[in-house]
């Protein structure tokens, strides 16, 4: 933790990326692993991560992102897409993974599986989709923190048209929905925002100790 707070103070939502600088394959793999290791409700990870490198596709996505330049100038564009229409099948798949990973008989997990299914399947479709979308933000937070440790810049973004993203990336055909996105790369020296003082609430305004 000796540098964590320092790096959190260093990071900011980058407004202008240097399009000539690319994240290395090694660092990208580290960021991917940080996302993969993110916590999620029940450990289900009901989302997919789309890493968009193709410049032609990113050019198509820019108008659907309010014209923001980070979409095309950043080294990588990462789309966090929550799964929709989820149910027992996704839980069964997770239990199979647990069984194989921990060398446990699948029958030993049936009670936990029934518990999860009872809670998840009782939700409306809308509630399920809201819930899975929320999970993507936990993974996004891991990406942001891991990138700061590597001195890689990120811009988490909600300013985009999810419907257009789903169409352009073919997500709707995969029962996926673009929930939140992040541009990843290196700040441009002309981005004045990097010199602004970070604005956050004081401890007194933020915390309530009971």
Residue 48: per-residue pLDDT: 98
Order of all β-strands in the sheet with 153-157:
47-52, 76-83, 176-185, 153-157
Distance from the first to the final alpha carbon of the chain: 26
Top CATH class, 4-91+123-206: alpha beta
Q: What is the CA radius of gyration of the chain?
A: 19
Residue 38: per-residue pLDDT: 98
Q: Which two tokens stand for residue 38?
A: 């993110």
Residue 2: per-residue pLDDT: 77
Global pTM reads 0.96
CB 151 within 8 A of CB 12: no
pLDDT in tens, the chain (210 residues): 679 999 999 999 999 999 999 999 999 999 999 999 999 999 999 999 999 999 999 999 999 999 999 999 999 999 999 999 999 999 999 999 999 999 999 999 999 999 999 999 999 999 999 999 999 999 999 999 999 999 999 999 999 999 999 999 999 999 999 999 999 999 999 999 999 999 999 999 999 999
Residue 1: per-residue pLDDT: 63
Q: Which two tokens stand for residue 142?
A: 């891991």
Residue 161: per-residue pLDDT: 98
Q: How far apart are CA 128 and CA 86, in angstroms?
A: 7
Residue 35: per-residue pLDDT: 98
Angle, nearest 10°, between helix axes 25-36 and 125-149?
A: 140
In 3-state terms the chain splits into helix, strand, coil percentages (rounded to 5) of 50, 15, 30
Q: How far is CA 173 from each of CA 62, 81, 127, 130, 147, rounded to the nearest angstrom?
A: 21, 12, 20, 19, 31
């Amino acid at each position: 933790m000796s540098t964590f707070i320092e790096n959190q103070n260093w990071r900011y939502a980058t407004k202008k990326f240097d399009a000539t600088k690319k994240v290395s394959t090694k660092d990208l793999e580290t960021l991917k692993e940080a996302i993969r290791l993110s916590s999620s409700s029940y450990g289900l990870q009901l989302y997919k991560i789309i890493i968009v490198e193709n410049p032609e596709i990113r050019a198509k996505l820019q108008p659907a992102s309010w014209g923001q330049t980070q979409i095309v100038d950043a080294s990588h564009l990462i789309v966090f897409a929550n799964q929709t229409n989820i149910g027992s099948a996704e839980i069964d798949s997770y239990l199979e993974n647990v069984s194989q990973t921990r060398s446990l008989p699948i029958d030993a997990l049936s009670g936990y599986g029934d518990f999860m299914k009872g809670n998840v399947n009782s939700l409306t479709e809308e509630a399920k989709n809201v819930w899975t979308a929320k999970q993507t933000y936990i993974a996004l937070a891991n990406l942001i923190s891991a990138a700061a440790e590597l001195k890689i810049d990120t811009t988490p973004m909600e300013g985009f048209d999810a419907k257009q993203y789903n169409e352009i990336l073919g997500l709707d055909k995969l029962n996926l929905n673009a929930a939140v996105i992040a541009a990843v790369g290196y700040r441009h020296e002309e981005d004045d925002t990097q010199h602004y003082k970070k604005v956050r609430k004081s401890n007194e305004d933020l915390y309530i100790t009971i």
